[in-house]
């Protein structure tokens, strides 16, 4: 069996182990999915009537940004899970088994797709309650959800590296919050813009803005907002895929290398 096939096979076993953990600690899944529901309700009812968006209700415009914010925050679950395994010595147990070194990371990131898919599903149901609708076809809608999950999977490798680097659940949560909050708020996730000065330029080329724009286009929630004048937002799907490729190309090798260093300590 090739090394890639071995890593995937062993990774599937690790992913199964992480999913079985949900049965034993269901509170983790419950509280993970409660947060996005709270964000939808909070933004919809607190800001829904105060932020005008041309040609579409703010609640529909909002959902694309909330989806992106949720999957990015969901990726912190990857880092926290790896940091917890490090502190509890589970990584050392994995080292003693005849398995591929990358299998732990492959399984961790793969299993967390389930968490993100669950969050997106519950958010979609909550969005339907507050007035959000998919106004395109079935294929476009599915494509929007798949792009969100693919971006979430790529970002989970970033947090996997962070989780292995700091080896503390508390530090992972604090560090991710300090990084993710400006990344999501200096974007078009919650307001169509414009932002003042250089913040607008950052928001236009921020990958979060591209994913949110791609999701809105896929769901038909763009309204009559003026067409973007920058390439990144005029071609949001292509720009998002470029960022996904860059993130995976950088952080998969970095995470595997950091795992080997952490395991050898």
Per-residue model confidence as pLDDT tens digits over 84-106: 877 777 777 777 666 776 788 88
Question: Per residue in 185-208, pLDDT tens?
Answer: 899 888 887 888 899 999 999 999
Long-range contacts of 204-210 (CB under 8 A, 24+ apart): 204/228, 204/230, 204/232, 204/233, 205/230, 205/232, 207/151, 207/239, 207/240, 207/243, 208/68, 208/69, 208/72, 208/183, 208/184, 209/233, 209/236, 210/236, 210/239, 210/240, 210/243
- Mean pLDDT in residue range 15-27: 72
The confidence score (pLDDT) of residue 68 equals 93
Q: Could you tell me the pTM of the whole model?
A: 0.89
Of residues 34 and 244, which shows the higher confidence score? 244
Question: What's the chain's average pLDDT?
Answer: 84
How large a percentage of the chain has pLDDT more than 90?
Answer: 32
**Banded model confidence at residue 236, pLDDT cuts 50, 70, 90:** very high
Q: Is the pLDDT of residue 233 over 70?
A: yes
Question: Which of 117-121, 162-166, 217-221, 254-258 holds the top average pLDDT?
Answer: 217-221
The confidence score (pLDDT) of residue 49 equals 67
The residues spanned by each domain of the chain are 3-263
């Amino acid at each position: 069996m090739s090394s890639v096939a071995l890593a995937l096979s062993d990774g599937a076993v690790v992913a199964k182990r992480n999913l079985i953990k949900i049965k034993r600690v269901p509170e983790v899944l419950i509280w993970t999915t409660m947060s996005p529901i709270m964000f939808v309700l909070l933004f919809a009812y607190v800001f829904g009537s105060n932020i005008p968006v041309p040609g579409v209700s703010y609640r529909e415009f909002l959902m694309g940004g909330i989806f992106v914010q949720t999957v990015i925050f969901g990726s912190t679950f990857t880092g926290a899970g790896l940091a917890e395994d490090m502190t509890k010595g589970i990584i050392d147990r994995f080292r003693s088994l005849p398995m591929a070194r990358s299998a732990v990371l492959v399984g961790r990131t793969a299993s967390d797709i389930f968490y993100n898919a669950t969050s997106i599903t519950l958010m979609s149901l909550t969005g339907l309650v507050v007035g959000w609708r998919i106004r395109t076809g079935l294929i476009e809608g599915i494509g929007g959800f798949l792009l969100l999950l693919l971006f979430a999977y790529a970002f989970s490798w970033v947090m996997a590296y962070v989780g292995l680097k700091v080896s503390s659940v508390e530090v992972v949560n604090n560090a991710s919050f300090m990084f993710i909050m400006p990344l999501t708020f200096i974007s078009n996730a919650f307001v169509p813009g414009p932002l003042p000065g250089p913040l607008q330029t950052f928001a236009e080329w921020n990958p979060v803005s591209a994913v949110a724009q791609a999701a809105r286009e896929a769901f038909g929630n763009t309204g009559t907002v003026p067409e973007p004048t920058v390439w990144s937002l005029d071609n949001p799907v292509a720009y998002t895929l470029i960022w996904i490729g860059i993130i995976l190309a950088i952080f998969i090798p970095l995470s595997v290398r950091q795992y080997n260093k952490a395991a050898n300590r």
